[in-house]
Structure 1
Amino acid sequence: MFALSRLLPLSLLALTLACQKSAPAQPTVAPPTNTTFTNPLLPAGPDPWVIRRGDTYYYMHTTGNNLVIRKTAKMSELGSAVSTVVWTPQQASVTQRDIWAPELHFLDGKWYIYYSADPLCCDGHRINVLENANADPTTGAWVDKGRIAVPGNDLWAIDGTVLEQNGKRYLLWSGHEVANSQVQRLYIAEMSNPWTLIGPRVELSSPQYSWERNGSPAVNEGPEVLKHGDKTFIVYSASHCSTDDYALGLLTASATADPLKLTSWTKSATPVFVKNPAGQAYGPGHNAFFQSKDGTEDWIIYHANPQTGQGCGDNRSPRMQKFTWNADGTPNFGSPVAVGTALPKPAGE
């Protein structure tokens, strides 16, 4: 996601693209029934994120210039969910632009949003943290906890997420090895609290395989944590978002391993989720995970473009589908389901 949409607010990007070419044809979507839904869930929504708290799902995605939370009891009804703007940096006297990949986490009895933004200095994007003590994150005041970075190593960084393992908490993100670098790598560092990193960062993955190096620059980004049985997985996005071949890769470790040790992780030599041209799913990636309302099903939510060559802009729409598990305990995401296909709603809805 280091392209034009990473440099402009999405609304401005859409206007720019509209001036360059006619609007693409919209995918045909079948009407849902009482027991089914269809993808996409929204007309646009890059970098989707979902978290469940009690009986409520909270959803966020990249808007470009602010932070918005959608609140719903049913993920299949995300399109009609109540939408609340919870943070606009300019109104909070914070100078930032190009706000990307927000994630909402509930830690130590409070809500935290991790988001990436360009502070108009310092070689570009950094990860920032907001805190809210209210029980409902769409209400109450959000407090700016500032930038989260490795002490003495404050470099370009995006796509922050949280891993909890062995009683400790860690931040995962996509960043640069040195200032002015282009290659995006995955890093991890221990947290002393939800807005502070301690100790050194450890590089967990870089774009080494050909399927991770489509487009320019080469990219590993959007790390997301998935746990199952005795394993911890990091599902990440690989290749540049400007290409149709943006895809998902997989890192695997024991659920009791030290995540700061590179030897704890095994990297899959092949992608685990790739484009489906026949189904109008190009560049599927930057995902999140959630369980069905009754807790019996595992679901992935991700963005994809409906047509070839649409890159990193507003055409990326959020889609979701149920996934299963292989005999060895690894996730089996299958193939992106075709746009407009009637799918059973998550169990319990």
Structure 2
Amino acid sequence: MIRTNFLTIVLLVLFSFVRCSASDIEASEEQVKSTFANPVWDGADPWMTQQNDDYVYCYSANNAIFVSRSKYLTRKGELKRIWQAPASGWNSNCVWAPEIHFIEGHWYVYYAAGFSGPPFIHQRTGVLRSKTDDVFSDYEDMGMLYTGDNPQNLESNVWAIDMTVLEHQGKLFAIWSGWKEQCDTDATPQHLYIQEMENPYTLKGTRVLLSSPEEDWETGGPLNLNEGAQILKNGNQVFVVYSCRESWLKEYRQGMLQLNDPDGNLLDPANWTKKGPVFEGTAQVYGVGHVSFVKSPDGTEDWIIYHSKKTTEPGWNRNVRMQSFTWNLDGTPMFGTPVPEGKEIDRPSGEVEIEAAEKE
């Protein structure tokens, strides 16, 4: 009787071990999910870039600028507030759409801000610079950029938002959305301007009007605008993908400028060709806009990060989404259509392997 009980106990222990081991394996496999679904998080004007194996995500909230660093494209990681707007001054309010770029050993943040609003008529562009090459280092305020037509008269500065930078053949260029002249209403058309930079925090020469909302697919609503320009490169081809139509409406969409001659003059508007729309909403996804671009963790895929409206009602209640895109035979991007909310998408190539390795 004692022997029988002993064998029974041994068998029960072995059976339990096998069951637990199998459960652990199944749980481990379930934890490393191979798909995800949009939206990935709340927010707007998503700016993401890469440095080595890290994805750096930059955004504004409560008049402050935050940075996240993650090994994953689809998840935010370690987070830090790198700048808080001052209590007073030109940039004390309305902090919008920051971008962060690593240039010449420092991180530079380009952001729009004003001292009051609405109406949002005081927006200008400011620059922050990291004190080290660490994205989480302290930042110093490099001041406001002059984005008007008369650099000798700083009081003549003109409304400017959504600045990005283009590095091309050893030169640095700024591209932003601005007004032709300062106005007392924010119901003012917005245009894209380009200007060479002396360094990452100083513009050189005078601004050049690069694009105006003129095509039938970028006009037709209550306010014509070009904004949110972002740089996309494919080999020696250079593209500026930008947002048009109204940001608060479901018609918000993406247009594109293509550089005709990479060896030509970037400050010559005739050297750019406009195409569009290249990415727009559907009956299920509304008002796609303000994009940025990164590679998958293994470098084999191209991804577009963008925001969309949560409803068709006018307003700025938005969330962040992402999906892969491909290229046409002529080297131009083919973004396809926005993936509907909740539909499972394969995670960026290489991301599952990173997570699996971390769990070993």
TM-score range, shorter chain: 0.7 to 0.9
1:53 matched to 2:51: yes
Report the residue type matching 1:154 in the other structure: N
Farther-moved stretch of structure 1 (190-199 vs 207-216): 207-216
1:336 matched to 2:338: yes
State the 1:166 CA deviation.
2.1
**How much identity, in percent, do the aligned residues show?**
40
Please give the per-residue CA displacement for 1:132-156, whole angstroms capped at 9, x wherever unaligned.
Answer: 0323212x21100000124245200
The residue number in structure 2 matching 1:11 is none
SS at match of 1:317: strand
Cα distance in 2 for residues equivalent to 1:282 and 1:62: 22
Distance of aligned partners of 1:33 and 1:335 in 2 relative to their CA distance in 1, 3 Å threshold:
farther
User: Which of 245, 251, 267 is the aligned partner of 1:245?
Assistant: 251
State the 1:257 CA deviation.
2.7
Farther-moved stretch of structure 1 (287-296 vs 301-310): 301-310
The structure with the larger Rg is 2
User: Which of 170, 176, 181 is the aligned partner of 2:179?
Assistant: 176
Report the residue type matching 2:298 in the other structure: D
Distance of aligned partners of 1:289 and 1:219 in 2 relative to their CA distance in 1, 3 Å threshold:
same
User: Which of 287, 293, 307 is the aligned partner of 2:291?
Assistant: 287
Distance of aligned partners of 1:316 and 1:242 in 2 relative to their CA distance in 1, 3 Å threshold:
same
Cα distance in 1 for residues equivalent to 2:242 and 2:31: 31
Aligned 1:27-176 pairs, distance under 5 A: 34-42=33-41, 44-78=42-76, 81-90=77-86, 95-120=91-116, 123-138=121-136, 140-150=137-147, 151=151, 152=153, 154-176=157-179
Please give the per-residue CA displacement for 1:271-308, whole angstroms capped at 9, x wherever unaligned.
Answer: 00111223xx1000100000111111110000001321
Distance of aligned partners of 1:95 and 1:333 in 2 relative to their CA distance in 1, 3 Å threshold:
closer
Whether contact under 8 Å (1:119, 1:126) holds in the other structure is no
The residue number in structure 1 matching 2:322 is 320
Report the residue type matching 1:345 in the other structure: R
Q: CA RMSD in A?
A: 2.0
The residue number in structure 1 matching 2:354 is none
State the 1:91 CA deviation.
6.2
The residue number in structure 2 matching 1:264 is 271
Cα distance in 1 for residues equivalent to 2:89 and 2:195: 29
The residue number in structure 1 matching 2:21 is none
Farther-moved stretch of structure 1 (206-215 vs 295-304): 206-215
Please give the per-residue CA displacement for 1:27-69, whole angstroms capped at 9, x wherever unaligned.
Answer: xxxx996111111110x21100001111111102342511011
The residue number in structure 2 matching 1:19 is none
Report the residue type matching 2:133 in the other structure: A
Whether contact under 8 Å (1:174, 1:187) holds in the other structure is yes
Cα distance in 2 for residues equivalent to 1:262 and 1:248: 19
**Structure 1 alignment gaps of length 5 or more:** 1-30
Cα distance in 2 for residues equivalent to 1:339 and 1:33: 21
SS at match of 1:75: coil
State the 1:243 CA deviation.
1.3
Cα distance in 2 for residues equivalent to 1:88 and 1:170: 27
Distance of aligned partners of 1:291 and 1:172 in 2 relative to their CA distance in 1, 3 Å threshold:
same
Cα distance in 1 for residues equivalent to 2:322 and 2:274: 25
The residue number in structure 1 matching 2:238 is 232
Cα distance in 2 for residues equivalent to 1:77 and 1:241: 25
Distance of aligned partners of 1:197 and 1:320 in 2 relative to their CA distance in 1, 3 Å threshold:
same
Cα distance in 1 for residues equivalent to 2:31 and 2:127: 37
SS at match of 2:142: strand
The residue number in structure 1 matching 2:202 is 196
Whether contact under 8 Å (2:191, 2:212) holds in the other structure is yes
TM-score by length of 2: 0.82
Report the residue type matching 1:112 in the other structure: Y
Distance of aligned partners of 1:95 and 1:223 in 2 relative to their CA distance in 1, 3 Å threshold:
closer
Distance of aligned partners of 1:248 and 1:32 in 2 relative to their CA distance in 1, 3 Å threshold:
farther
Distance of aligned partners of 1:214 and 1:40 in 2 relative to their CA distance in 1, 3 Å threshold:
farther
The residue number in structure 1 matching 2:216 is 210
State the 1:119 CA deviation.
3.2
Please give the per-residue CA displacement for 1:86-109, whole angstroms capped at 9, x wherever unaligned.
Answer: 110126977511111100000111
Farther-moved stretch of structure 1 (99-108 vs 115-124): 115-124
In the alignment of these two chains, the number of paired residues is 310
